[in-house]
Amino acid sequence: IPVKQIKLRRIKMMLNDPFTTSFGTMQEKEFFITEVLDNDGNHGFGESVAFTSPWYSEETVETNHHIMKDFLIQRLRKNILHHPDDVLEVFKPIKRNNMAKSALEGAIWDLYAKQNQIPLAEALGGTKKEIDVGISIGIQPSVNDLLQTIDHYVKEGYKRIKIKIKPGWDYDVLKEVRKHFPETPIMADANSAYTLKDIDQLKKLDELDLMMIEQPLAHNDIVDHAKLQATLGTPICLDESIHSLEDVRKAIELKSCSIINIKIGRVGGLSEAKRIQDLCQKHDIDVWCGGMLEAGVGRAHNIALTTLPQFVLPGDTAGSSRYWKKDIIKPEVTVHDGMIAVPDKPGIGYEIDDEALDAFTVKEEIFNL
Ligand code: OSB
Ligand code: MG
């Protein structure tokens, strides 16, 4: 895959609505759109997913920039790629920094699919023509606000509703939600806000018939999660704790979870995400695709990944309009009856809206290989 040039664009976009987790509220998103060019006029696109502050993981927009510019692009200069899977090996000497790696690897996957004139989903080995999706709802000012928001998205057809929880906004709130939505598939995401001391409060959730509870305990834990899962009826899903295939192997061995949320950025790219889904398939661990409030390019990558067979549960890939007044792709991602039609054009399958992209760009850098 001959790459002749890499462009890094730093983008700033305002979210339609503030998004609140157990850690705080986000109102705008900053990230990089990566672009790799070959000699035949093909362009591959990727998107970085780290936030401006390291609340979710240790990476930030700034560290993504530093690692891409000073290390990863240098390594792409010195190594020849025959297949996008080679990027994993080329980046291996650089420890972690998975979101930085993924932002470049994703662009190389898109370029590869375009060079071969096949959709990215097909390049990855995915077969679904449409994918089921759910939606993640942030912590709301009141239970009433939450109920109204859920009602809105249930009526839009989303296949499951994820509700952010934290100590003080959990059992009582979810009980009220369950009362109003007795049949709706509901799950909760704690973003690591609890410890084993909260075990009694967490066990109360068992009576609410939740699909799963996501990352209840520490961001770097798989041992306490195993202890919790042993006494909890509700399936545990890991998010923050999983950064690699090795992490998944260990979590399965310890029985720390029965479901895994795969985020491409968190695991260092599409190749690693694919390997994780393969291992989960072997061990009958259900998988779904998580989200990081992506703009259109990252969203398109999530859609392509979700076409792989072990993505059996609806993910967090909602439509563009749930996040943005205007997205950076054409057409925007739309959801009908809780499903997204997988694009059949080459690569990510969406055009870049150059005008929108320019309007949101704060800085652009070019690296010639
Ligand atoms: O924990 O899954 C998470 C958003 C930002 C950071 C972490 C998470 C989330 C979400 C929303 O739950 C996912 C999305 O809608 O993109
Ligand atoms: Mg999560």
Asked if residue 226 has pLDDT above 90, the reply is: yes
End-to-end CA distance of the chain: 12
Least confident of 14-23, 32-41, 140-149, 177-186: 14-23
Instruction: Pull the structure tokens for residue 217.
Output: 């305990």
Cis peptide before 331, with omega less than 30 degrees from 0? yes
Q: Which of 359, 307, 303, 305 is nearest to 331 (CA)?
A: 303
Q: How far apart, in whole angstroms, are the C-alpha atoms of residue 120 and residue 303? A: 9
Summarised one tens digit per residue, pLDDT across range 326-353 is: 999 999 999 999 999 999 999 999 999 9
Residue 341 β-bridge partners: 130
pLDDT-derived band at 24 (thresholds 50, 70, 90) equals confident
Instruction: Pull the structure tokens for residue 109.
Output: 């996957």
Ligand at shortest distance from the CA of 57? 1
Radius of gyration from C-alpha coordinates of the chain:
20
Strand pairing category for 236-238 and 24-37 = unpaired
Q: Which residues contact 307 (CB under 8 A, 6 or more apart)?
A: 121, 124, 126, 127, 128, 131, 342
Calculate mean pLDDT across residues 140-161: 97
Calculate mean pLDDT across residues 16-27: 92
pLDDT of residue 23: 85
Protein residue with least CA distance to atom 4, ligand 1: 292
pLDDT-derived band at 139 (thresholds 50, 70, 90) equals very high
pLDDT-derived band at 95 (thresholds 50, 70, 90) equals very high
- Give the fold, CATH level 3, of 122-341: TIM Barrel (3.20.20)
Q: Where are the domains of the chain?
A: 5-118+351-368, 122-341
- Percent of the chain, pLDDT > 70? 100
Query: CB–CB of 331/28 below 8 Å?
Result: no
Residues annotated within the binding site are: 189, 214, 239
Instruction: Pull the structure tokens for residue 359.
Output: 């309007």
Calculate mean pLDDT across residues 61-81: 97
Whole-number Å distance, alpha carbon 275 to ligand 2 midpoint, is 20
Is 330 one of the catalytic residues?
A: no
- Name every protein residue with a CB atom under 6 angstroms from any ligand 1 atom: 56, 136, 189, 191, 239, 290-293, 316, 318
Query: CB–CB of 130/340 below 8 Å?
Result: yes
Query: CB–CB of 351/330 below 8 Å?
Result: yes
Whole-number Å distance, alpha carbon 83 to ligand 1 midpoint, is 30
Identify residue 33 by its one-letter amino acid code.
I
Asked if residue 186 has pLDDT above 90, the reply is: yes
Calculate mean pLDDT across residues 275-283: 98
Residues annotated within the binding site for Mg(2+) are: 189, 214, 239
Ligand at shortest distance from the CA of 16? 1
Instruction: Pull the structure tokens for residue 54.
Output: 């390291």
Residue 367 β-bridge partners: 6
- ipTM more than 0.90? yes
| pLDDT mean across residues, the chain | 97
The conformation of residue 271, written as its DSSP 8-state character, comes to H
Where does 5-118+351-368 sit in CATH, by number?
3.30.390.10
pLDDT-derived band at 230 (thresholds 50, 70, 90) equals very high
The conformation of residue 80, written as its DSSP 8-state character, comes to -
Ligand 1: atom nearest CA of 322 is: 15
pLDDT of residue 22: 84
Protein residue with least CA distance to atom 7, ligand 1: 292
Which of 316, 320, 321 has the most ligand 1 atoms within 8 A of CB, as the residue to mutate? 316
Is 29 one of the catalytic residues?
A: no
Evaluate if pTM is beyond 0.90. yes
Q: How far apart, in whole angstroms, are the C-alpha atoms of residue 251 and residue 276? A: 12
Protein residue with least CA distance to atom 9, ligand 1: 292
Task: Provide the Cα torsion 246, 242, 304, 113; round to 10°.
Answer: -50
CA 182 to chain centre: 28
Asked if residue 208 has pLDDT above 90, the reply is: yes
Residue 289 β-bridge partners: 262
Calculate mean pLDDT across residues 43-54: 97
Ligand at shortest distance from the CA of 15? 1
The side-by-side arrangement of strands in the sheet containing 213-214 is 135-137, 161-164, 186-189, 213-214, 236-238, 259-262, 286-289
Q: How far apart, in whole angstroms, are the C-alpha atoms of residue 295 and residue 29? A: 9
pLDDT of residue 42: 97
